[in-house]
Amino acid sequence: MIRRSELSQRRVEKMAGFSKGYLSQLLAQNLDLKVWHLKIILGVFGQSPVDFFQRLDPEADLPPSLRAFEQSRRPLHPEIDDSLEELYGVDPEVLVRLRRRLEQRHAPSRRREPELDLRGDPAR
């Protein structure tokens, strides 16, 4: 999001009220990312956390009927399943991504949750 914006990283840092270098430390994962960090950074771009997380969810923009199909469909036919390995196995990245999508969408109860530290706002 920062890269796509017209703002420099330093500018975002300033607008968020962070000290110099703080944002770099966060992005480099030298500091734990907290919910309050995210709220402040999203605030710089005028976005709500709900919108942000919806965009991370690969199912968020699927039309309801297609989402329902994913959740009600039968497991892949064995022949189709095998053919995925044969056809895309030479490119593990493609195969892994495809399988991940097929599994995530097929299992409604296993929705991916964002991995964040949700311990609340510490004193800044």
Partner 1 sequence: MNGSSMMGEDLLRWLADADDLRHRHPRRALLRARALRDLAASIEPPPASAPVATAAEGGDAGESRRQWNRLQASAWGVLGSAHRSVGDRARAESALAVALAFLETPTDTRPDGADPETDLGLARLAQRLSYVRCDQQRFDEALALNDDALRLFDRAGDARLAASVRVDRALFFHRSGQTRRAIPLLIHALGRLDEESQPRVFLAAVHNLGFYLSLEARDADQEREALAWLELGWQLHLEHPEEPGLLRLRAVAALMALRRGHVEEATEALASCRAGFAELGAMAEQAAVLLHLVALAFEEGRNEDVRAFAAQLAPILHHLGLPEPARAMLRRFLGADAWVEIVEEIGEERGAPEIDTLETGTLETGTGIVETAWSEVGLDDRLDVEAPSSVPSTEPDSGAEPGGPRTF
Structural contact between residues 104 and 17, judged by C-beta atoms closer than 8 angstroms: no
Q: Work out how close the CB of 35 gets to partner 1 at its nearest, in angstroms, rounded to a whole number.
A: 21
Query: Which residue pairs, CB below 8 angstroms and at least 24 apart, start in 112-115?
Result: 112/57, 114/53, 114/56
Task: Tell whether residue 10 is a contact of partner 1 (CB under 8 A).
Answer: no
Stretch that binds partner 1, among 8-16, 27-35, 72-80, 107-115 (CB under 8 A): 72-80
Instruction: Give the span between the Cα atoms of 64 and 70, in whole angstroms.
Output: 10
Residue 27 CB partners (closer than 8 Å, separation 6+): 9
Task: Tell whether residue 36 is a contact of partner 1 (CB under 8 A).
Answer: no
* Binding residue for partner 1, selected from 28, 46, 50, 79, defined by CB under 8 A: 79
Give the binding site for partner 1 (CB under 8 A): 3-4, 54-55, 57-66, 68-70, 72-74, 76-81, 84, 87-88, 91, 93-94, 97-98, 101-102, 105-106
